Amino acid sequence: MGGLLKSSVAKKFAMALSGLFLVLFLAQHFTINLTSVISPDSFNEISHFMGTNFLVQAILQPVLIFGVVFHFIMGFVLEIQNRNARAISYVRYNGSANSSWMSRNMIYSGAVVLAFLGLHFYDFWVPELVHKYLESHPADATRYYGELVAKFVSPVRTGLYVISFIFLMLHLLHGFSSSFQSMGVKNKYQKGLEGFQGSASRWVYGLTKGFAIVIPLGFIFIALFHYFNNA
């Protein structure tokens, strides 16, 4: 078991696992955000539940923070190792001839998403901590929608959110489907179920690519919806 945490295969497995966890979180975050477009009351209700529920705050939130931090730290560790593996660069390297831009630049798309997380925490998480723990305001289940909408008054902030979600899309377009390969399960899907050879693989591949496009576009839609509603 010790070797499982040391080797290149294990590191990639851990990277894939944490990535899949973050994909699940994204789906959950998107679903909650979407309610802000459909019903402000529902958004307030769900946000209040997430912000006050003991299980979410004491267990899921720390697990999520660990997942995010682990994914980024491991990403940088792997990137440093990979750069060291080729001490002298090629004079000419034709990477686009055999691989996608997304797959070659995960570190850059990831870095943009990391920078975005900084902004996002500054916008929502820090004020939430101040509201709850420093200023000790009484619980107000109706404040969340107003706080959300107020953030999307600024065109600069809205623009930064849109750009960040585009980079999230690029990151997911390679990362989501690639995680199955790192976990060694791609082969199982490629073989497909008995009688459905190949179909399971295509289904999983399509699902990952669809998710990578739809979810960031959905986040962009929500940001623009509130910006234009404010205008």
Residues binding other proteins (CB under 8 A): 1, 3-4, 6-13, 78, 81-82, 84-95, 97-100, 103-104, 106, 174, 178, 180-188, 190
Give the C-alpha separation, 188 to 208, whole Å: 16
Give the C-alpha separation, 44 to 109, whole Å: 32
Within the chain, where are the H helices?
A: 8-38, 40-52, 54-55, 61-84, 101-104, 106-120, 126-129, 144-151, 155-182, 186-191, 199-230
By beta-carbon proximity to other proteins, the closer residue of 42 and 190 is 190
By beta-carbon proximity to other proteins, the closer residue of 174 and 226 is 174
Closest CB 65 distance from other proteins, rounded Å: 25
By beta-carbon proximity to other proteins, the closer residue of 54 and 90 is 90
Closest CB 108 distance from other proteins, rounded Å: 12
Closest CB 71 distance from other proteins, rounded Å: 14
By beta-carbon proximity to other proteins, the closer residue of 31 and 81 is 81
Closest CB 194 distance from other proteins, rounded Å: 12
- DSSP sequence for 55-108: HIIIIIHHHHHHHHHHHHHHHHHHHHHHHHT-SS--SS--GGGTS-HHHH-HHH
